[in-house]
Amino acid sequence: MVNPEKRIAELRENILDADYKYYVLDEPDLDDYAYDMMMKELEALEKEYPLLVTPDSPTQRVSGKATQKFTEAVHKVPMLSLSNSYNFDDLLDFDKRVKSLLGDEPYEYICELKFDGLAVSLVFEKGYLIRGSTRGDGTKGDDVTGNLKTIRSIPLRVKSDTFRNFEVRGEVFIKKDDFLRINEEQENLGEKLFSNPRNTAAGTLKQKDSRKVAARPLNIFTYYLRDENASLSTHGENLKILKELRFPVNSHWKKVKDIDGVKKYCDSIEEIRDGLPYEIDGVVVKVNSLAQQEFLGSAGKSPRWAIAYKFKAKEKTTRINGITLQVGRTGTITPVAELEPVFLAGSTISRATLHNFEEIRRKDIREKDFVKIEKGGDVIPKVTGVVLSDRPKDSRPFPEPSKCPVCGTKLEKPEEEVYIYCPNYFCPAQIQGRIEHFVWRDAMDIEGLGGSIIAVLLEKGFIKDFADIYSLKEKRAELLKVDRFGAKSVDNMLQAIENSKEKQFDRVLFAIGIKHIGERTAKLIAKHFGSIDRLAEATEEEIDDIYEIGPAIAKSVCDFFRDAKSKELIKKLRKAGLKFEIDESEKQEVNEKFAGKVFVLTGTLQKYSRNKAEEIIEKLGGRTSSSVSKKTDYVLAGADAGSKLEKAKKLGVRILSESDFEEMMK
């Protein structure tokens, strides 16, 4: 028998090591399966030996409970902000001031990227991360330790004899492509879009539920180290130490000997800015020597030893030739500005989304208006405002459409939503959109079936919906007669269609495009119900009961399965051989009486340990919680149950004895 303590330590070491290689070095050396197995083993051991759970265990990255309110975190040393400069003359002034204050002393600068995210502080004691907080007003921020722990590139413990009690600061951010993906999900869910990666990161850090934070890909770059007991000499050294301690440090920093070097650095970064996978809004210049930094001190809230050189947001003025309306796969009508093409920050821009009609009204954007287009290293060009002085005399506000531009059906606007919808399921734009979604990389992943091919297939009557894709192989000969459909590309496409039949049930569920069902929701639902037949029979209440799933999703799922058209589609797909249940290995023996129910355990049970009982409940599809509330379905009470039992009685929650529990399991 292996010593559990030893095995736990070994697993943690291996997992933290794998996290470091994956998230910091970007050189993964383990496959997902091996990683998951280690995590599962560790979880099982910790469940068995709860006393061995420590806060630095990788299992503790996501805590099980939502905080009601963040507590205040006072910064030992204030978190300053930087004074900004927008042109090179400002930088020269900064350098002059540094030079005159330092007298004859030589000095150097460290140049770094200015990441467009949120500053956070990480406090370590005895080598362990004990607190993580936001900058707040500089003096005190919010304690968001639980949320920051979900960032797997942050070490929960450092191995060092020198550095034990110290503070690290850095910038939390979201990568550009993750931002686009999150917004796509938000759109699918009919939820508000984030305006940029920075706001997405900020919104995520403020989440009360760290499980939701963990689902969002937050990253961090660290750029500050303070340790009263270590002899630290320069900022450049600190960056190297941070890297050795396994913190993520961006590699673009550079030591330069004078302001000319700074200028060269700024120019070189502006060149590569658009190609970086994360957003930056400038460069930060810092005096390298920490002694000199201290000597220079600060003026108000900004240090005299550092300055930010901000890139100008690239902006141009161009004309809106017209506003067109796009119809999404769920019928959403999106207004799009068709622009007189302009070259801006590396690409030609001829269209920009105007999001919705509230946005058009708010900014009073009209056809033929001259507008300012901004691209700040940003992913999406924005229309920031109208040049009113150039507005044509006969200009009229852009009217909200009443009919679908594609099929002419009367549009609808659900209460409390900003979007307008075309309710016609057979609207050609929706049909095309649904098929595009179905074949999309993250759904059925059918390569070679892009938008224009789908359009041709629809137009020539080869397909009417996405289920028809699976009968294309019977029409190979006719397909080859279509202009520009070569034998090779047709065969590749047919093969990709065949291969897609191997996709797991949750992907299929996502691909069929039920309104509000994103990838993550599809996974949760697939796992919970196990098969489409069980899902189709589920009531709104049962779906709503799944943790993390709300009433809007539940209603949408039920609406979908009530619809005869959906039944017909599923029938066709089933015939084609798609997976409509989860694989045997993923199956849980879900018990109707347990499915979706919340249990609270209290007191001592005779036959089961607390862990064993929890395991049984979860295996049968239930959930456990540690506190009794109105959401609790059952309290399983053993001997000497105390306050939880009292509370359950007060709230009228059903109380189970151990034998009731066994009865339920049957």
Secondary element (H or E) of residue 507: helix 505-511
CA 310 to chain centre: 27
Stretch that binds ligand IVH, among 80-88, 261-269, 326-334, 501-509 (CB under 6 A): 80-88
Contact window for ligand IVH (CB under 6 A) among 100-108, 112-120, 395-403, 541-549: 112-120
- Contact between 292 and 106 under an 8 Å Cβ cutoff? The reply is no
575 is catalytic: no
User: Which is nearer to ligand IVH, 112 or 436 (by Cβ)?
Assistant: 112
In terms of Cβ atoms closer than 10 Å to its own Cβ (0-12, 13-18, 19+), residue 152 is: buried
- x-or-dash string of contact with ligand IVH, 124-143, rule CB under 6 A: -----------x--------
367 Cβ contact list (under 8 Å, min separation 6): 320, 321, 322, 323, 395, 398
Q: What Rg do the C-alpha atoms of the chain give, in angstroms?
A: 29
Least separation in angstroms between CB 301 and ligand IVH: 9
Question: How far is Cα 305 from Cα 80, in angstroms, rounded to an integer?
Answer: 11
Angle between helices 428-439 and 451-459 (to 10 degrees): 130
Cα-Cα end-to-end distance for the chain: 34
Rounded to 10 deg, the angle between the 88-102 and 259-272 helix axes is 150
- One DSSP character per residue, 206-260 reads T-SBHHHHHTS--EEEEEEEE-TTS---BHHHHHHHHHHTT----TT-EEESSHH
Q: Which residue has the tokens 């105390």?
A: 642
Beta-strand runs (E) in 260-312: 280-287, 298-299, 302-303, 306-310
**Closest separation in Å from C-beta 186 to ligand IVH:** 25
User: Which of 21, 40, 69, 114 is the catalytic position?
Assistant: 114
Residue number with CB closer to ligand IVH (111 or 449):
111
Q: Is 284 one of the binding residues for ligand IVH (CB under 6 A)? A: yes
To ligand IVH, the closest distance from the beta carbon of 388 in angstroms equals: 33
Query: Which CB sits closer to ligand IVH, 11 or 307?
Result: 307
Q: How far apart (Å, rounded) are the C-alpha atoms in residues 57 and 52?
A: 10
Binding status of residue 303 toward ligand IVH by CB under 6 A: yes
Closest approach, Cβ 590 to ligand IVH, in A, equals: 47
Pairing state between β 280-287 and 72-74: unpaired
- 94 lies in the binding site for ligand IVH (CB under 6 A): no
Tokens for 435, please give them: 């098929």
SS3 349: strand
Closer to ligand IVH at the Cβ: 114 or 329? 114
Q: Please, which residue, 249 or 595, has the CB nearer to ligand IVH?
A: 249
Residue nearest to ligand IVH (CB): 119
Confirm or reject binding of residue 171 to ligand IVH (CB under 6 A): yes
Total binding residues toward ligand IVH, as defined by CB under 6 A? 14
Pairing type for strands 370-375 and 314-327 reads antiparallel
Specify the residue, 112 or 227, whose C-beta has the smaller distance to ligand IVH: 112
Residues 253-282 that bind ligand IVH (CB under 6 A): none
Shorter beta-carbon distance to ligand IVH: residue 195 or 298: 298
> Does 306 engage in binding with ligand IVH (CB under 6 A)?
yes
Quick check: 283 and 206 in contact, CB under 8 A? Answer: no
The neighbouring-strand residues paired with 218 are none
Binding mask 214-253 toward ligand IVH (x if CB under 6 A, else -) reads ---------x------------------------------
Q: Report whether 653 contacts 645 (CB < 8 A).
A: no
User: Which window, 21-29, 77-85, 373-381, 473-481, contacts ligand IVH (CB under 6 A)?
Assistant: 77-85
Among 80, 193, 380, 407, binds ligand IVH (CB under 6 A): 80
Selected binder of ligand IVH within 94, 107, 109, 115 (CB under 6 A): 115
Q: How far is the CB of 267 from ligand IVH (least distance, A)?
A: 18
- The stretch near ligand IVH (CB under 6 A) out of 113-121, 373-381, 461-469, 631-639 is 113-121
Smallest distance from the beta carbon of 220 to ligand IVH, in angstroms? 11
Taking alpha carbons only, the member of 364, 355, 361 closest to residue 332 is 355
Binding-site member from 14, 67, 81, 495 for ligand IVH (CB under 6 A): 81
Please, which residue, 282 or 328, has the CB nearer to ligand IVH?
Answer: 282
CB of residue 424 vs ligand IVH: minimum separation in angstroms? 48
Site for ligand IVH in 393-432 (CB under 6 A): none
Name residues whose C-beta falls within 8 Å of residue 384's C-beta, 6 or more positions apart in sequence: 315, 371, 372, 373, 374
Among 82, 406, 535, 595, binds ligand IVH (CB under 6 A): 82
Contacts with ligand IVH, residue ranges (CB under 6 A): 80-82, 112, 114-115, 119, 135, 171, 223, 284, 303, 306, 308
Q: Please give the positions annotated as active site.
A: 114
